[in-house]
Amino acid sequence: MKRYSGFGLVKHAMSHHENWERQWRNPTPKKQYDVIIVGGGGHGLATAYYLAKVHGITNVAVIEKGWLGGGNTARNTTIVRSNYLWDEAAALFEHSMKLWEGLSQDLNYNVMFSQRGVLNLGHTLQDMRDIQRRVNANRLNGIDGEVLDAKGVQDIVPILDCSKNARYPVMGASWQPRAGVARHDAVAWGYARAADSMGVDLLQNTEVTGFKIRDGRVHGVHTNRGDIEAKTVGCVAAGNSGVLAKMAGFKLPLESHPLQALVSEPLKPILDTVVMSNHVHGYVSQSDKGDLVIGAGIDGYVGYGQRGSYTTIEHTLQAIVEMFPIFSRVRMNRQWGGIVDTCPDASPIISATPVKGMFFNCGWGTGGFKAIPGSGHVFAATLAKNEAHPIAAPFSIDRFNSGALVDEHGAAGVAH
């Protein structure tokens, strides 16, 4: 093994990144593109990638006000599952799951997709009835799922308190073996590198400040680096979607809330699956580094602060310790918040808008990370053909007029 003196260590630490190849270019914005994507999170980057790869549309800019994948994509707890109740949502999330299963190969980038299974716990008779109904619906849609009793849950997670002494004893769970977690940054970077290699311009530190709209049609965007023209604009800005819609002169049925997460100090491997409980309101998995990755429901108030309140942190940790008394002395290392945009039916919006040529992909609430590949794929098709992809069609904003809502509050992993 090579040994370094103290000086050598400092020298190597300082020079470490010198000759690394850049993963994508840093282009100067062109005056005009065929398609502009506003928002360089996972959904925006995936959309650009599929526009180029599937539809051959490469004159595309992704405009990001900060850095790529620095929004909710960087802030989420990376749970991927497809066990949604209604056919429309099941089709969307299972489409995504299938893309996840080949994503590292497709992007030639290891997104560390780990199908370690997800348990959604039931603590009451009504929970168990809902679980049974959802698993039945999943299986009818060809999605893997099982209903477990408390013993089945205990067999998978021996450290979970499944005793009758718990305040809300575990009665059972839904179990999706193909579900799991992935590496959030790698997903953004993998899509970014692949899109860039096909000619997509990734414009970081570029903020959209308004839209060029004439005669009811979009002609481009105003940015802090000048105006950029395009006849097709896709907005994929998660918690900022309402702000962008306001700039375009219409309202979306969205509320923006903080959603928090925490990670603990690293531990030896102790939890090899994902455990979620909507009832006691907490969920946890263990990252490959060893940290416990923990979260719960949204903070109840609306806002754009990427923080959140202490009350939620306290309740979340109470729930985790209640489920896992063994974690009671684990120290938390970090806490943060993202802004999630929630729809009244807890389903996303993938839709044309009152402005011709302008589309929105938003409203993923607490659960859009898992949807990144599927959402990007169907949104790209929608933009390329100016017509909703069949999987995207039920998620049009028209559903709030027609009443054809896709109510997925029950399947949303965390309350919103």
Residues near ligand FAD (CB under 6 A) are 38-44, 63-66, 70-73, 75-79, 207-208, 236-238, 240, 244, 259-261, 295, 338, 340, 364, 366-370
CA–CA distance, 389 with 380 (Å, rounded to integer)? 9
Single out the residue of 228, 248, 190, 246 nearest to residue 63, CA to CA: 228
CB contact at 8 A, 301 and 339: no
CA–CA distance, 294 with 50 (Å, rounded to integer)? 32
Count other Cβ atoms within 10 Å, centred on residue 384. 18
Q: What does DSSP assign to residue 356?
A: B
Cβ proximity to ligand PYC: between 176 and 396 the closer is: 176
Residue 363 interacting entry, from ligand PYC, ligand FAD, none, C-beta within 5 to 8 Å by type: none
Cβ proximity to ligand PYC: between 122 and 413 the closer is: 413
Q: Please list the residues that pair with 337 across neighbouring strands.
A: 260
Contacts of residue 84, defined as CB under 8 A and 6 or more positions apart, other chains included, come to: 90, 92, 93, 134, 138, 408, 411
Residue 406 interacting entry, from ligand PYC, ligand FAD, none, C-beta within 5 to 8 Å by type: none
Cβ proximity to ligand FAD: between 171 and 262 the closer is: 262
Q: Which of 211-243 are b and which e, b meaning 16 or more Cβ less than 10 Å from the residue's Cβ?
A: bebeeeebbbbebeeeebebbbbbbbbbbbbbe
Per-residue tokens: 127 = 């929970």
Cβ proximity to ligand FAD: between 230 and 236 the closer is: 236
Span of 32-40, 77-85, 139-147, 319-327 interacting with ligand PYC by CB under 6 A = 77-85
Q: Least Å distance between CB 151 and ligand FAD?
A: 27
Q: Least Å distance between CB 63 and ligand FAD?
A: 5
Single out the residue of 330, 327, 325, 283 nearest to residue 161, CA to CA: 325
CA–CA distance, 348 with 326 (Å, rounded to integer)? 37
Q: Is 81 in the site for ligand PYC (CB under 6 A)?
A: yes
CB contact at 8 A, 361 and 406: no
With 0-12 CB in 10 A as exposed, 13-18 as middle and 19+ as buried, what is 12?
A: exposed
Residue 66 interacting entry, from ligand PYC, ligand FAD, none, C-beta within 5 to 8 Å by type: ligand FAD
Count other Cβ atoms within 10 Å, centred on residue 21. 4
Footprint on residues 269-298 left by ligand PYC (CB under 6 A): 283, 295
Cβ proximity to ligand PYC: between 251 and 307 the closer is: 307
Q: Least Å distance between CB 109 and ligand PYC?
A: 23
One of 72, 77, 141, 176 touching ligand PYC (CB under 6 A): 77
Cβ proximity to ligand PYC: between 370 and 389 the closer is: 370
Q: Is 184 in the site for ligand PYC (CB under 6 A)?
A: no
* 340 φ/ψ angles, rounded to the nearest 5 degrees: -110, 145
Single out the residue of 359, 361, 65, 67 nearest to residue 223, CA to CA: 65
* 345 φ/ψ angles, rounded to the nearest 5 degrees: -105, 15
Q: Least Å distance between CB 367 and ligand PYC?
A: 3
CA–CA distance, 252 with 365 (Å, rounded to integer)? 14
Cβ proximity to ligand PYC: between 203 and 263 the closer is: 263
Span of 74-82, 137-145, 247-255, 382-390 interacting with ligand PYC by CB under 6 A = 74-82
Q: Is 413 in the site for ligand PYC (CB under 6 A)?
A: yes
One of 298, 320, 330, 414 touching ligand PYC (CB under 6 A): 414
Q: Least Å distance between CB 74 and ligand FAD?
A: 7
Q: Is 312 in the site for ligand PYC (CB under 6 A)?
A: no
Cβ proximity to ligand FAD: between 150 and 237 the closer is: 237
Footprint on residues 342-381 left by ligand PYC (CB under 6 A): 366-367
With 0-12 CB in 10 A as exposed, 13-18 as middle and 19+ as buried, what is 152?
A: middle
Cβ proximity to ligand FAD: between 114 and 150 the closer is: 114
Cβ proximity to ligand PYC: between 254 and 411 the closer is: 411
Q: How many residues bind ligand PYC (CB under 6 A)?
A: 9
One of 35, 62, 63, 79 touching ligand PYC (CB under 6 A): 79
Interface residues toward ligand PYC, by CB under 6 A = 77, 79, 81, 283, 295, 366-367, 413-414
